[in-house]
Amino acid sequence: PSMRASSSTDRRASISNMRKQRRPSTQVQIDRQYSTESYDCFVFHASAENSSRFTWKFRVSEGQQGMLTAVISSKRVPKTSQICQFPIKALSLHSSVVFDVDEEVNALSAKRPVNTLTMSAQWSLRQFVPWLSQCIPDVPSRLPINGLSLAWYCSFIGDFIHIKFRNGVAEFSSDSVTNIAILKDFFTKIAIENNLTFSKVNVNVHLQSALHVFELIRSKLEYHHAIHEKHAWIYGLREIESHEEQIGGLSEKMQAILKESEQIIEAYQTSPKHLQFIKNVIFNQIRHFAKLRNQRLSFEQLEKLKYGLDHKDHCEDIVSVIQELMK
């Protein structure tokens, strides 16, 4: 009872402080638990004002899938609740190509290194399409008669996926080896769950694919490293500015940082999360490249890769690791 009373008192004091500080009426509480197998997150949103619509934005990591469950409760009488579920798919960052699929894929394949995965089994198109829709968004519900040919494009990285299905044979192609690894693992799991035996599984990894994807995302990595570097200078430069009437003695680079300080501080608010996300994308790309070629990253290569990811001027260390795996 004493603990409950203390907790109740603290809660009232906390609410009183919130009112004094005139914080926004919306309250959000997040409770996250991490395990080696999954990410579990609980979010509570309460609005003091009557509202019928609000927006949440969040980022997911490809290769991991799950379910987002939303429980919406009304404050008005009668008290009602509604449960909505939104599947988070393993390749959720990809969107379907709405143009001529074959023409678009042929144009991309001619310019990029392409990895392929071929899987043959006693399965029909009617079985394949629902399974595919569990892994990647924008899969059409209407089944074609002669076969399936679909393509997706990732707006964040810029890679593509092309899938063909005819006569029990599924052909997957992508310039990202991570996409091939995710599809292979997903359909292997589906086969085990449905007692399905593959008569053929063939993976062909292009030697230039990991280097190609790194070059696609390299500019984003360097940009966020630059934001962190500039942010570290801002408060020292402002201290100099407050004590000096003229800052002409500073280099052009330092003057530019001081001039853009507000924009840099604003960008830095979300930059650490973006930077970590980009690091994970690059690391997974190299890890899957080694795995599908039956190679293993050595301790020295891992340390070199980590150092290259953590330092702006050492991206060539990442290129060096990829080139070592290409041999």
Predicted local distance difference test score (pLDDT) of residue 13? 39
d(CA 115, CA 153): 15
Q: Mean pLDDT for each 10-residue chunk of the chain (327 residues)?
A: 38 40 41 47 75 76 85 82 89 82 75 94 89 91 77 90 90 95 94 91 94 94 94 88 78 88 92 92 95 93 94 92 92
If DSSP codes are grouped into helix, strand and coil, which group holds residue 177?
helix
Tokens for 211, please give them: 């280097």
Residue 22: per-residue pLDDT: 38
**pLDDT score, position 218:** 94
Where would I find the H helices in the chain?
2-20, 101-111, 125-133, 177-193, 209-243, 252-259, 261-268, 271-292, 299-310, 315-326
**So what's the pLDDT on residue 100?**
66
Question: Residue 203's pLDDT is what?
Answer: 95
| Cα–Cα distance, 89 to 280 (Å, whole number) | 18
Q: Is 31 exposed, middle or buried (0-12, 13-18, 19+ CB in 10 A)?
A: exposed
Cis before 87 (ω within 30)? no
CA 131 – CA 165 distance, rounded (Å): 13
**Quick one: pLDDT at residue 39?**
62
Q: Report if pTM > 0.75.
A: yes
297 and 290 in contact (C-beta within 8 Å)?
A: yes
